[in-house]
Structure formats: C-alpha cells, structure tokens
Structure 1
C-alpha cells in the first residue's frame, strides 16, 4: 500500500549535495513530494527533510540509496514514529476593502496572519501541517489567489522519541 514517508537526512553542508540527492531520487524513479534544506544543529552540516510516497519496499530502497551517498551522515525515517511536521505558506489574494474583514474571519481560526496589505490585495502567512495549509488555500480560492508559495514540509521527531534510522 502506497503511503507518504517523511525522511530526515543529515548531510555535509557543501555545494552540490542537494543536486546529488535529488538526482538519486529521479534516477531511481522516486518522486519527491516536498524537500526542504537548512542548517542543522551541527556546524558544517545541513538537514534535508524529504516527503515521498511509496510502499514499504520503495521506502527501504530509498533509504539504502541515501546511505550510499558519500555526503550523507545519517538517514532517519521520521514518519515511522511520532513527529512534528510543519509547512509555511504565503498566499496573495485579491482583497478590496470590503472583502478584508471577511477574509480576516476566514484566516483567524487557522491562526494565520496578514503580513502585507496593498490597495487591491493581502498577503497571508500561515503555518501548520499540510492538511491545514490545504484547507486554508481552499477557503481563500473564491477571493482570487494571485500568487502562492509553500515551503514544503519540515519535520522533527517528537519529544524524546527516536525515529527509525
């Protein structure tokens, strides 16, 4: 059965590492649903969070291939245990002054905020899991989405739980 998998990869912070990881996925026919990269808690290392889909056999193959890359130090299957996963979205919607209070009422339950205002639009910022972000986008569509940018998922194991390596 195909399901989503969130994988964390600790890598050397060097040029070309992201390209090698993405190429590995593409050459093997594995799709990347989202990928985020940033500094880790260790100087000189970056952490990649990759969301992909597949069955257990596909996941096993992906993990084995990651371990073979020279710049990869650690591969962790985060979705195998309890994790915290978040995504950031910025949405620019058409908003004349009359629609602004209505839009405020929509974004309030999502704990979203307005981060830019112009005479004809608003930019809304929200964070949360992918389902929450999807739901907010659906509710904003009737107002006319002019532009949308999502970060992709970033995740970490919850509390003292250790994810499968």
Structure 2
C-alpha cells in the first residue's frame, strides 16, 4: 500500500527560459512606471524593453518585454501583469507553437585601419549590416535581426576594434492573421 499526500504536488522547474511578452496598455502617463515597478518590486529581470504607440485613435501602446525566469515565475509575471488596471492584454509570444517574428535594431561602432578595417567591412556585408557613418578611422554599422544575430556580429567585431553598441530592444509580433 502506498502512503503519501492526497494533494497533487506540481513538479517545480529550476530551468530558466527566455520569454517575449507583448503587453497592450492605455497610452497614458505612468503606465510604463507601473509595469516596471511590478518587475523591480518582485526582483524580476528585464532583458529587453520597447514601448511604442500602436493605435493613436484608441490611445493604445505596446510594451514588448523579454525576460528570463523559471516557468513558474513567468506565469506569475503574466498573471500579475494581467491584473494591472491600464493593461488590455498580456500575450506570451514564446508559448506559441510557431515562433514569433522578432527583430531588433542596433548601431555598432568599429574603429580600425588596414586589414582589420577590410575584415570588418567583409563581415558586415556577410551579416547584411549597412554602413551609416564612416571616416578613415571608424565605421558605424546599422543592423536589424534577431537578438542572437546581433550578439554574434558584436562578438565578431570585438577583436576588430569594437568601440560601442547601441540597441533598441526586441519588437515582436505573432505570425498569422490574429492580432496580438
């Protein structure tokens, strides 16, 4: 005979996952502060954050948040965000069966001359980065793509004279005809 609890005990995962959350909110002062306050007040980390008005007529903005946590914490974040008053919808784009469309914009400044300069240009072409500023001593490349692509390009530019990087943060939409 087995002895044990009559209550279902859910297995708790300690493996962290990265999730992209799309949050539709009223476009009004203080909303972003409330969302960020939820994260900081509970010690949740934000890997990337973008905000933009998506419907001027309806005064709606989209906040796209990339965060890394255990599945239980992600569920807590989604639930707590859903309870904030100015929020219309919280969508976890990472749980869809089809990966969402995600893009980020980055500007990457690289300084160098001679062979390093030639190599930086060759690699930029391979990564489809565009030169948006140049002098005899440096380039500024513009690049759009998935986070991993930008991170790979930045790491390759490191030994070639990487000076600085500026990134916008991830924007994302669900694939297909449904509204996010």
When the two structures are superposed, what TM-score results if normalisation uses the length of structure 1? 0.91
Shift of 1:64: 1.0
Higher relative contact order (CA 8 A, sep 6+): 1
Which residue of the partner structure matches residue 152 of structure 1? 169
**Among candidates 4, 9, 17, match of residue 3 of structure 1:** 17
Deviations 1:19-44 (A, max 9, x none): 11111111111111111111214631
Between stretches 129-138 and 93-102, larger displacement belongs to 93-102
Equivalent of residue 121 in structure 1, options 128, 138, 144: 138
1:18 paired residue number: 32
Q: What is the CA deviation profile of residues 146-165 of structure 1, one whole-angstrom value per residue up to 9, with x for unaligned ones? A: 221011111100123677xx
Q: Which residue of 1 aligns with 2:77?
A: 62
Unaligned runs of 5+ residues in structure 2 are 1-14
Structure 1 segment 1-165 matched on structure 2, within 5 A: 1-41=15-55, 43=57, 44-81=59-96, 82=98, 83-96=100-113, 99-160=116-177
Stretch moving more, 95-104 or 119-128 = 95-104
Measure, in 2, the Cα distance between the counterparts of 1:70 and 1:157: 24
CA distance in 2, matches of 1:154, 1:9: 11
Q: Secondary structure at the match of 1:15?
A: coil
| Superposed displacement of residue 73, structure 1 | 0.8
State the distance in 1 between where 2:166 and 2:150 align. Answer: 11
CA root-mean-square deviation: 1.6
Larger radius of gyration: 2
SS for the counterpart of 1:40 is strand
What is the distance in 2 between the residues matched to 1:2 and 1:125?
31
Distance verdict in 2 for CA 1:73–1:161, change over 3 Å:
closer
Q: 1:151 to 1:94 in 2, by over 3 A?
A: same
Distance in 1 of aligned mates of 2:32 and 2:158: 33
- In the superposition, the TM-score normalised over structure 2's length comes to 0.84
Number of aligned pairs? 163
SS in 2 for 1:103: helix
